[in-house]
């Protein structure tokens, strides 16, 4: 197992559709659990490529990032992993298991944290 390589603990969220009191459907973001993961640093090329995608009408770059976890974790496409320390959110685009199940690779889209406003 590769557990000694995990460098972050993230909250695992999934959006589910539930019936509301009026018979309609609502989407709810629920916490599935907590995961220990490895988030490698993006390479310089990845940062340059992400920043080059910023157009005049966009406020931020889109950065994709692999995230690794234990192979038996129940992570699905569309799930979100949120770092409670940094506020970063990793939206899962794909979950890939190698031929020998020693880890689960999650291809994610990184969403930068919104700045927090202190109210006094």
What domains are there in the chain, each with its CATH number? 3-16+26-52+61-111 (2.40.10.270)
What local confidence, expressed as pLDDT, does residue 63 receive?
72
Q: Write down the pLDDT at residue 48.
A: 64
Give the residue with greater pLDDT, 38 vs 101. 38
Closest CA to 88 of 11, 6, 5: 11
pLDDT at 18: 87
Contact 37, 10 (CB under 8 A): yes
pLDDT digits (tens, 9 = 90+) for 16-67: 998 889 989 999 999 999 999 999 876 666 666 655 555 544 445 567 889 9
pTM for the model stands at 0.76
Span 71-85, average pLDDT: 94
């Amino acid at each position: 197992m590769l557990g000694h390589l995990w460098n972050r603990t993230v909250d695992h969220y999934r959006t589910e559709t539930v019936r509301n009191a009026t018979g309609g459907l609502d989407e709810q973001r629920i916490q599935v659990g907590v995961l220990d993961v490895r988030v490698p640093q993006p390479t310089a090329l990845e940062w340059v490529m992400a920043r080059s995608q910023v157009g005049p009408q966009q406020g931020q770059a889109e950065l994709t990032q692999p995230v690794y976890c234990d192979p038996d974790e129940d992570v699905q496409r569309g799930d979100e992993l949120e770092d409670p320390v940094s506020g970063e959110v990793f939206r899962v685009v794909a979950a890939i298991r190698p031929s020998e199940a020693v880890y689960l690779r999650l291809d994610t889209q990184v969403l930068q944290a919104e700045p927090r406003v202190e109210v006094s």
